Amino acid sequence: MSDLTDLYQAVILDHNKRPRNRGKPPTANRVATGDNPSCGDNCTVYLHLDAADRVDAIGFEGSGCAISQASTSLMTTQVKGKTAAEAEALFNDFKHIVTSGQPPEELSDLAAFAGVHAFPARIKCATLGWHAALEAFKQPPSA
Ligand code: ZN
């Protein structure tokens, strides 16, 4: 189990050090923001959907603790290529992982955040970017 814990920590450290999809993609036309005042985290998520309503571009900006930044970075890699319904299903899996500490049956990088369940105050940090992304799906596209 400790090997697995090391692996999970490596995923979080890696996303924190080298965030994926940072910045606003040039084609993005949907945006939503989220903030978590109890920790001081904030994030803005940008999306562009293709003709089939799948995310073909996603990016984020923001600042905050390592958990919030790593989780938002990982979220962008998971949500790319997904529809709103698929992203919501992924978020439900992720929420289950961070609130229960139970890794999913299928091994996934999302399980890296299972340890968060021991720190309930950090659950908001881990879900901040996901909430913003799901909100961005619901925004009308802007030119
Ligand atoms: Zn935080």
CATH number at residue 89: 3.90.1010.10
pLDDT score at 53: 96
pLDDT score at 43: 97
Say how many Å lie between the CA of residue 68 and the centre of ligand 1.
5
Say how many Å lie between the CA of residue 115 and the centre of ligand 1.
14
46, β-bridge pairs: 31, 59
Assigned token pair, 11: 């995923």
Phi, psi angle pair for 46, to nearest 5°: -110, 140
Report pLDDT digits (tens) over 87-112: 999 999 999 999 999 887 777 889 99
pLDDT score at 4: 65
Say how many Å lie between the CA of residue 55 and the centre of ligand 1.
26
Q: What is the mean pLDDT of each run of 10 residues along the chain (143 residues)?
A: 72 94 97 97 97 97 96 98 97 95 83 91 96 97 82
pLDDT score at 2: 58
Do 32 and 45 contact (CB within 8 A), yes or no?
yes
Assigned domain for 143 exists: no
Assigned domain for 27 exists: yes
Assigned domain for 114 exists: yes
Count of C-beta atoms within a 10 Å radius of residue 38 = 10
CA distance 55 to 52: 9
pLDDT score at 1: 46
Per DSSP, the residues of 55-106 read EEEEEEEEE--HHHHHHHHHHHHHHTT--HHHHHHHHHHHHHHHHH-PPPSS
